A = this chain, B = another copy of it.
Amino acid sequence: MDQTQRRRGAALESALLDAAWDELLESGYARLTMEAVAARAQTGKQVLYRRWPNRAELVVAAMRHRTGSIVQDVPDTGSLRGDVLAVLQRMADRFAALGPDLIHGLLSEAPDVSPEITSRMSGVMLAIVLRAAERGEIPSAALPLSVLLAPTNLLRHQMLLTREALEPATLTTLVDDVFLPLAGAGAQATPTS
């Protein structure tokens, strides 16, 4: 019964972050308590507070720990439309697992994590658009930032402000009705007239 195996350093930290992540999935951000995380990790609260100053920081660290690696790669489907759809789909998938409460909770408790959320997006979109311009799909890759981020920002807005699961057409609408026209792809293509 007595474990007498005391974890330390990176191994312990990883266990703590895993516990936090599991609590997040099980209870959501609003119901995640430090006590529960500590209990799940078979330790005390002090071990958590030794590493992260508060609940929000712990959760942010847990998210980075779990999802940090997936963000890097840029989809490459061969077409601008496919690439942007893939990005949106990935956002939607990631969001579906956690729900909007997480973002709202974090942003209302730890205001300084805002940049974290939107930061890497512009790099991804820029890479996609550059490739599309090389391919000749669009006349120029020099899009205003507001256009470049319009689809991802609109999707994020929708996911944050709507409780229902988003219907499949939402993503294609964002790409076909908003982004592609603005990017100047296929001047003759204007669907849903």
Contacts and interface: CB of A to CB of B under 8 A. Distances in A.
B154 A114 contact: no
B105 A101 contact: no
A100 interface: yes
B100 A107 contact: yes
B177 A146 contact: yes
Contacts of A118: 161
A33 to B, nearest CB: 15
B105 A108 contact: yes
A156 to B, nearest CB: 6
Contact of A146 (B105, B142, B178): B178
A30 interface: yes
A30 B146 contact: no
Name, among A112, A142, A158, A161, the residue most crowded by chain B CB atoms within 10 Å (CB to CB).
Answer: A161
B30 A108 contact: yes
Contacts of A109: 30
A32 to B, nearest CB: 12
Contacts of A30: 108-109
Contacts of A170: 146
A2 B19 CA distance: 56
Given A107-B160, A150-B150, A161-B117, A144 B177 contact: yes
Contact of A174 (B108, B140, B146, B156): B146
Interface of A: 29-30, 100-101, 103-105, 107-109, 111-112, 114, 117-118, 140, 142, 144, 146-147, 150, 153-154, 156-158, 160-163, 170, 173-174, 177-178, 181-182, 192-193
